[in-house]
Amino acid sequence: MKLSKVAKRMIIIIAICVFVILAVGAVLAALGTAEFLPIALGAAFGAAISMLKVAMIDRAVKKAAGMETETVGNYVRMQHFLRFALTGALFIVAAIVPFFNIFSAAAGILSFQVATMSLGRISTDEAISNK
């Protein structure tokens, strides 16, 4: 599947967020307050789900653009529910499986929101610089 430019930017920002989470996890592991592997696995799992959600949104937007007006609402609602269920499944797995850190998994999921908000900032900066 070919991703749009916006989706690729979001995935890059999510990857940067994961590296920041991993750096914090390494510091915590060096201080002896936490183990690094559960933090790394939780962050990687959360970021993977965030990247999958970006791809799902990109695909849904492309598909919804060519749909009939009557059916597009139901399709978009179902896609939103699937992304929501995916996030819920991540939290359930991270809470049950002992080698995932639920806080780093949550940080990986929140990287999606960070990417969305910083994408708006990047677009605003580009619009100002193009004037």
pTM: 0.86
Q: What is the residue whose two structure tokens read 């070919």?
A: 2
Confidence band of 42 (pLDDT split at 50, 70, 90): very high
Please state the domain count of the chain.
Answer: 1
Instruction: Give which of 15, 25, 8 is closest to 101, Cα–Cα.
Output: 25
pLDDT attached to residue 128: 54
- Domain span including residue 65: 5-129
The stretches of the chain forming alpha helices (DSSP H) are 5-31, 36-65, 69-96, 102-129
Both tokens assigned to 78 = 């179902």
Both tokens assigned to 45 = 């799992």
Mean pLDDT over the full length of the chain: 88
Residue 115 · residue 14 · CB < 8 Å = yes
How large a percentage of the chain has pLDDT more than 70? 92
